[in-house]
Chain A
Amino acid sequence: MGGRASLIMVMGFGLVLGYLSTNLNRYSTQALNNMTSYYDATSSHALAVAGANAALAKFYTDTSWSGPMHQSIESGALTGSFTVTMVNVGTYQRRLRSVSTYAASGMGTLHDTVEVYFNTRAGSPFTQYAWFANNDGNVFWQNEDTVWGRAHANGNVHIAGSPVFMDKHTSAKRYDPPRPGTGTNQAIFKSGYESGVATIPYPTDLSIVINASNTGGKHYTHDISVNLVPGTGLNNDGVAAVVDLSTGTKDTVQLADAGFNGLLLSDGNVSVSGVLDGRLSVASLKNINVLDDCTYERNPRFGTSDDQLGLIAANNVVIKDNTANHTGCQIHAAIFTLTGSLVAENLTSLPICGDLMTYGCVIQNTEQEVGIYKAKGGGKSSLIAGFWKDFRYDKRFVDPNNAPPYFPGYYVQAYAISNWWESYRISALQ
């Protein structure tokens, strides 16, 4: 009797402990499975990233490479494979896709994806240059001309005297005469010069500007005048007082208005003057006429300022022949002319006007003189009509992200990574 009871007791104990043991094992196994599945997911992801990096290394040594690439890895710690493909996904966009294949422990096969997007051309605003000329226009750099900031010419650079270039000067063609210190080329290049560099593509239209004027900017169809009013002494409370010169209609544009994208365009001519407080680009599909000084409320030469003006003309930016400009003219702005130049109106009949001082940059299709000069000898010139040139670079424009709104730019072939996407696993969100 006692023996049977003992047997039953032992079996009972065995059953209870066996059940407990099974449960503990199950929890233990599940806990381990959690960590294993996280490890597997991480490994699969790491394989896909490795594939993307391997393909990027190959691509940057040969940008014509378009895949595919397949590679198996048997490193012990990481076992699996990846396949990389490269395709065009739109204008100036390519996509590299790396897909991993990883045999997970007890979970079948895992795949992870990494996608890398490239922009095959990169853009920079022309404000990177203090002085830019798409065509030389047979204008000669001469004594007393000084340029601060980078300068570039897509054409020849004619030199007749000893101009000073404080930063690097480049030309897509040649210098005339070719070597500094020979003949009339007595130019002083403080940071060097380089000829025969790649031509920087010049825009052929203002479509981006026109589009911006219709989407958040202001678009006028007649000739207009724009008077820049700085508002109170507070920062960024300036306005642009616009008058339609055909109808007399007035418009006041608050520059800090969140709904205004900073661009103001006319299909006709635009006359401009005043003091700017804020960021604004004034554009014309004809000419921009500078009636008087255009300056910033806070001058960046002598302190911090976030004021920025862009003058963008399809033809010329013209310094008007008027009384205000006969005693000199100051323009704080980045100047761009699509087909024309920065010019002085009626140059040959202008009196001696003094300095044309620009603080920003001058980007023009064709160089033109704004004064008539006569060599005096000894490296000196005298002004006969028009303006002395005093063109200074606004160093804030060194940062390509710091340019007046929608200021034109140029594009070069590049393979800059624009976006990077990685797949990931998520459980159901609560």
Chain B
Amino acid sequence: MAAILDVISSMLFGGTLFMIILTSNEIATETQATYNGDMFVQELLTNTAQLVEGEFRNMGFNVPQALPSITRADSTAISFLTDLDRNGTIDTVKYTLGNITELPETPNELDCFLKRQVNNDPVMSVGAVTVFHLSYLTKEGVRIPSPVPHDRLGEVRMVEVTMEVQNPYAPARTASMVKSGERTALYSSSLWQQTRLSSQNTRR
């Protein structure tokens, strides 16, 4: 009788321990994936932000004052003139937000390419973002509706850039874990905004 009780209690104890191990493993895996996602997202965001910030600050460099530095200004696309490699030749730099259908291989249904093109070179992807929004302001800080009409491009003095990056892959959650309005995976997200990004060259 005592031996049977020992077996039953050890099974209970062992089973409980096993359950604890399984749960902790699940939690640890999820936490690890989230941390990994956070790190990945932040790395992506800082890299993209530094590029966008740096190039936007130099827009209009070496461009004659009679020419407007910005040649197209839309809410998700911008085209501007600058001497990128400082060789005296003016380059045209275009940033555009791609379509979400261009990234079907990632489970994240919101991410799309942020594309950059210099002159007529091939279009390059400089990151995958979920939000890339541009607003344009005059020197008085008045917002110009997008797309900025051609005759008002010269008024743009500041650009407000909002960018969000989410990780393309995240641990999927079971249907029972997903509440109404929630997404099916735990996507890490990082938001970056420059509210008054201005190039000194547009103020000449």
Residues of chain A whose beta carbon lies under 8 Å from any beta carbon of chain B? 9, 13, 17, 20, 23-24, 27-28, 30-31, 34-35, 37-38, 41, 116, 401, 416-427, 429-430
Contact of A424 among B36, B54, B125, B199 (CB under 8 A): B54
Is there an interface contact between B42 and A24, defined as CB atoms closer than 8 Å? no
CA distance A291 to B37 in the complex (A): 79
Residues A424 and B42 in contact in the complex (CB < 8 Å), given A28-B35, A41-B50 = no
CA distance A420 to B58 in the complex (A): 7
Is there an interface contact between A23 and B32, defined as CB atoms closer than 8 Å? yes
Is there an interface contact between A419 and B61, defined as CB atoms closer than 8 Å? yes
How many residues from B make CB contacts under 8 Å with A? 35
Is there an interface contact between A429 and B50, defined as CB atoms closer than 8 Å? no
Tell me, yes or no, whether B178 is within 8 Å of chain A by CB. no
Closest 5 pairs between A and B when the two form their complex, measured CB to CB = A424-B54, A420-B200, A27-B35, A31-B39, A427-B47
Is there an interface contact between A420 and B201, defined as CB atoms closer than 8 Å? yes
Residues A27 and B32 in contact in the complex (CB < 8 Å), given A422-B57, A424-B57, A429-B126 = yes
Contact residues in B for A429 (Cβ distance below 8 Å): 51, 116, 124, 126
Contact residues in A for B61 (Cβ distance below 8 Å): 419-421
Is there an interface contact between B201 and A424, defined as CB atoms closer than 8 Å? no
Is there an interface contact between A417 and B126, defined as CB atoms closer than 8 Å? no
CA distance A27 to B46 in the complex (A): 16
> What string of 1s and 0s marks CB contacts (under 8 Å) between B185-204 and chain A?
00000000000000111001
Contact residues in A for B28 (Cβ distance below 8 Å): 17, 20, 24
| A-B contacts, CB under 8 A, total | 81
Contact residues in A for B179 (Cβ distance below 8 Å): none
CA distance A422 to B54 in the complex (A): 7
B:17-76 near A, CB below 8 Å: 17, 21, 24, 28, 31-32, 35-36, 38-39, 42-43, 46-47, 49-51, 53-55, 57-58, 61-62, 65-66
Is there an interface contact between A416 and B66, defined as CB atoms closer than 8 Å? no
Contact residues in A for B31 (Cβ distance below 8 Å): 24
The distance from the CB of A262 to the nearest CB of chain B, in whole angstroms, is: 13
Contact residues in B for A416 (Cβ distance below 8 Å): 204
- Which chain B residue has the least Cβ–Cβ distance from A41? B50
- Which chain B residue has the least Cβ–Cβ distance from A19? B28
B:86-127 near A, CB below 8 Å: 86, 116, 124-126
CA distance A23 to B51 in the complex (A): 30
Is there an interface contact between A31 and B38, defined as CB atoms closer than 8 Å? yes
Contact residues in B for A419 (Cβ distance below 8 Å): 61-62, 201
CA distance A28 to B37 in the complex (A): 10
The distance from the CB of B48 to the nearest CB of chain A, in whole angstroms, is: 9
Is there an interface contact between B42 and A421, defined as CB atoms closer than 8 Å? no
Contact residues in B for A401 (Cβ distance below 8 Å): 65-66
Is there an interface contact between B204 and A430, defined as CB atoms closer than 8 Å? no
Contact residues in B for A27 (Cβ distance below 8 Å): 32, 35-36, 38-39
Contact residues in B for A37 (Cβ distance below 8 Å): 46
Is there an interface contact between B124 and A425, defined as CB atoms closer than 8 Å? no
CA distance A28 to B24 in the complex (A): 19
CA distance A34 to B125 in the complex (A): 21
B:155-181 near A, CB below 8 Å: none
Is there an interface contact between A35 and B46, defined as CB atoms closer than 8 Å? yes
- Which chain B residue has the least Cβ–Cβ distance from A25? B35
Residues A426 and B50 in contact in the complex (CB < 8 Å), given A27-B38, A34-B43, A417-B200 = yes
Contact residues in B for A418 (Cβ distance below 8 Å): 65, 204
Is there an interface contact between A417 and B204, defined as CB atoms closer than 8 Å? yes
Contact residues in B for A116 (Cβ distance below 8 Å): 200
- Which chain A residue has the least Cβ–Cβ distance from B63? A419
